[in-house]
Amino acid sequence: MAEGMDEKMLLDIVSVTGVDMNKWPTAQHFTSWLNLSPRRMRTGGKDIGNESRKTNNPATQAFRISAHSVGINSKGQLGAIYRKLVVKKGKKTATKAVARKMAVTFYTLVKYRQEYNPIIINKQIKEQEERKIKQLAKLAKKLGYELHKTA
């Protein structure tokens, strides 16, 4: 099971969506059907806001509840993303964004019949940290400083 997805949540979603993901050609179609994708209002080539749509889809509600829960209780990648977005955009947007990430993960795992592998996510986190360290070292060198790792 993926981070934040428990048995009840999965049963709620599968009862609505089924296990045949061929109804949706891509994960973007799936998240749009769930009303979890952003709906930008544009006029004259400029974004003027976001359209909010109401939904009574039980699968959407399950993803949102799980996203909120994982944001509060998890120390993993999704929890970190949620907390970062809460500070920048607020709880509502953070919940929707993490719910969308969970929906894409669910779609991918079910469509391609794969098992969730947290090792891949941990590897991605380490790679991201290494990139940040390289960026900091480059910036420090540009400013005339030198970085040293402690302990």
Cβ burial, residue 59 (10 Å; 0-12/13-18/19+):
buried
> Which residue did the predictor score with more confidence, 134 or 38?
134
> Which residue did the predictor score with more confidence, 86 or 51?
86
Comparing CA positions, the residue from 58, 59, 67 lying closest to residue 4 is 67
The residues spanned by each domain of the chain are 7-116, 117-151
Distance CA 77, CA 68 (A): 14
Triad 26, 56, 64: Cα angle to 5°: 65
Residue labelled with tokens 């428990």: 6
At residue 117, φ and ψ (nearest 5 deg) are -125, 100
- Grade residue 1 by pLDDT with cuts at 50, 70 and 90: low
**pLDDT (0 to 100) of residue 46:** 87
pLDDT above 80 (res 41): yes
Chain centroid to Cα 53, Å, comes to 19
